[in-house]
Chains A and B, each alone.
Chain A
């Protein structure tokens, strides 16, 4: 299902990483960091993307034990962006409003990761259904100063 984006874009390259062990969190993180640096995002944007990737991969691992991370390099006119999609067939989030407000606290604190992550990126979309799973898409565009 195509996610609605505020910006029209094309995907110029894509990578998919399966998340089914703890070490995959680091793998996703490293891949995102490499790509962000390769496309010359500044250090703050690299940190934002890498941290967001880490938070969201960890959520997949901790709550669903299995899922996928898809990393896309995006092009919109002359603007470059990076999009990340995390999908799992885990338990889903029962109270999304609470989770996004940062008030949801479980063993590894899903709430803080989700609400905090949202503040690091330009676009944040989430679909979740209890008992079915969760899909989160984030996008960050490179700023040209």
Chain B
């Protein structure tokens, strides 16, 4: 578990990060670093970022989370973002920001299911 304010837990081969605080830019930047260090430390196959507590996701946070997913992918880890609130989804699309290249799921349960599928079936791309 890394030193920042966002807890990162290991559930089997998956890392679960739950964001429950209003994000300062430096916190989300530190979170990105913490996640990548944890992936290396634990050899996690999957990463789930739970944003169900986030009421506001602006373009900086969205971009940083999406980039975190891409960085994790380079390290061989699949990322799923779970719990995006309706208002957050609506706002991001209206702004024109699509989080491409990252899996999403409605709930933690579905996220874990999706991780199982993604990490046991080889990627054919």
On A, residues with C-beta under 8 Å from B are 22-23, 25-26, 29-30, 33, 43-44, 46-48, 50-51, 54-55, 58, 102, 108-109, 112-113, 115-117, 119-120
Contact = CB atoms under 8 A, between A and B. Distances in A.
A55 B59 contact: yes
A22 B97 contact: no
Interface in B106-122: none
B interface SS class: helix
A103 to B, nearest CB: 12
A3 B95 CA distance: 24
B70 interface: no
Given A47-B91, A112-B97, A116-B96, 4 more contacts: A22-B26, A30-B22, A51-B58, A116-B94
Interface residues of B, number: 22
A interface SS class: helix
A29 B24 contact: no
Contacts of B58: 51, 54-55, 58, 113
Interface centre among B25, B56, B96 (most CB of A within 10 A): B56
Contacts of B63: 109
A113 B60 CA distance: 9
B96 A43 contact: no
